[in-house]
Structure 1
Amino acid sequence: MTKLSVNINKVATLRNSRGGSIPNVVRVAIDAQDFGADGITVHPRPDERHIRRRDVFDLRPVIRTEFNIEGYPSPEFMELVKNVKPHQVTLVPDPPEALTSSAGWDTKLHLSFLQDIIGELKEAGIRTSIFIGTDLEHILYAAKTNTDRVELYTEPYASNYAKDREKAIEPFVEAANAAVKAGLMVNAGHDLSLENLKYFNERIPFLKEVSIGHALIADALYFGLEKTIRLYKEQLVKEK
């Protein structure tokens, strides 16, 4: 079964809009795991507009499944993750002012930089994943960085799913196959939802993990967090 990592950034965004500690991101992380989440994802940004540096340290002791921290590998980010030692760090190419992740790495252009960063993380005993698009050359260069995994940036799939899901999934199947052939494991994330997740998971049977935040937290407003996590996990059951 593909693992579900729940991104709780939007919970922190809601909290920060009023100050204080409601909703409490630590409590949500504990509950999400109790309700069946296989991991918790956070993306701390320099301006702390959602997850704060303090949150990362507060969350670490309560994560009993898997802790995935996303971010651009600035010196400050690297110091944070090497101190916290999550199970996985997902490297994203976002500049500090980015609203959300909107592209994957050009791994050919940034090969040397990524090799150095991944070397540091591996020395700290942290599994690595690179946020990446479906360009096959970028997939091959991702393997040259010595990363453990790639996380496919799925916004183009989500945007085109309703128009033609077969055409939308094609480049992702090709990219995932290329990644596995190159010795990489495959994660996925960005704009995956109850509408499009099952088909994506079916077409990429060796998918290891999806990280979902915005759609899942939005659905939880209607269904409640426990039912929502159950509904998402149902989409990730592998057909026999």
Structure 2
Amino acid sequence: MANLPERAAALSINLNKIALLRNSRSGDYPSVLAHAHRVIAAGAEGITIHPRPDQRHIRATDARQLAELVSEYPGIEYNIEGNPFAAARDSYPGFIKLVAECRPDQCTLVPDGDQQLTSDHGFDLHRDGERLQPVIAQLQQLGIRVSLFMDPDPEQIALAAAIGADRIELYTGPYAAAWGTPAGAVELQRHTAAAAAAAQLGLGVNAGHDLNLDNLCHYAQIPQLAEVSIGHAFTVDAIDRGLDATVEAYRKELESGHQLRQAAR
């Protein structure tokens, strides 16, 4: 069984939306690299990106440059998310080849198609498990921790452990959508049970998608939670609050959740 984290979940900032703003003009403004420096300096513990074949936001060049940047910060985690079966296109070399070049600390495999606006479901490992297994092994041989984007379904999570994943990232979209309604508590319980099931199987637990300053503290009380990645809400909040203050606000919510779960033990 995986040990419970003894500290608050780590905050990894997804920089996709910074890249999206940059790509709306020519040049390098706003700079993805400059924002990576800033969020790390402000207290973020990781950088997440999700390059897609159409390079609608993060480009392959960003992924390579961020790999160099993060190497300057011992202890800061670099996480690259994406569809492991995304093929090469124009200047995009294919997802697995790009990850192999960049050697991030963690690679989160996500079942998103080219036409999806954003990730909106976890893997069906009855369908995809057999072809994912050698990909997981390949990445692990490069020293990369592998996480699978999953719905809070214990049966599917058991399959993630069986094919060799190191962690899962629980898809929190439905939890966020239900927050503030009676269904929100039901969703939170589903995620709590799924995280416990994952830990029993030796899997680490990450989470992400539409987590924000309203719903994060409650989610952060899940005992096994090791890391969250937040991008869209973080970017919106940074416009209102300023970047440094927003990193601090998200760290405070994670710490509050951690303190509440410690008090409940």
Asked if TM exceeds 0.5, the reply is yes
Quick check: 1:174 aligned with 2:231? no
Summarize deviations over 1:208-237 as a string: whole Å, max 9, x none: 000000000100000011000000000111
Alignment of 1:124-203 (within 5 A): 124-164=142-182, 165-202=184-221
Residue 24 in 1 paired to residue 31 in 2?
A: yes
Give TM-score, length-normalised by structure 2.
Answer: 0.89
Verify: 1:118 aligned to 2:125, yes or no.
no
One-letter identity of the residue aligned with 1:69: I
CA distance in 2 between counterparts of 1:53 and 1:19 reads 17
Residue type at the aligned position of 2:10: K
Confirm or deny: 8 A CA contact 2:124 2:156 kept in the other structure: yes
Which portions of structure 1, spanning 4 or more consecutive aligned residues, are displaced by more than 2 angstroms? none
Query: 2:83 is matched with which residue?
Result: 72
| 1:3 corresponds to | 10
* Counterpart among 231, 234, 252 of residue 216 in structure 1: 234
Provide TM-score, normalisation by structure 1: 0.98
May I ask how many residue pairs the two structures share in their alignment?
A: 239
SS in structure 1 opposite 2:53?
A: coil
Select which of 12, 15, 34 maps to 2:22. 15
Q: Is the 8 A contact 1:198 1:235 kept in 2?
A: yes
| Percent identity over paired residues | 45
Cα deviation, residue 19, structure 1: 1.9
Q: Tell me if structure 1 keeps the 8 A contact 2:196–2:224.
A: no
Q: d(CA) in 2 for partners of 1:137 and 1:108?
A: 10
- Within 1, Cα distance between the matches of 2:121 and 2:97? 24
Task: In structure 1, list runs of 5 or more residues that go unmatched.
Answer: none
Partners of 2:11 and 2:229 within 8 A in 1:
yes
RMSD: 0.9
User: Does 1:36 pair with 2:39?
Assistant: no
1:229 corresponds to: 247
Conservation of the 8 A alpha-carbon contact between 1:37 and 1:229: yes
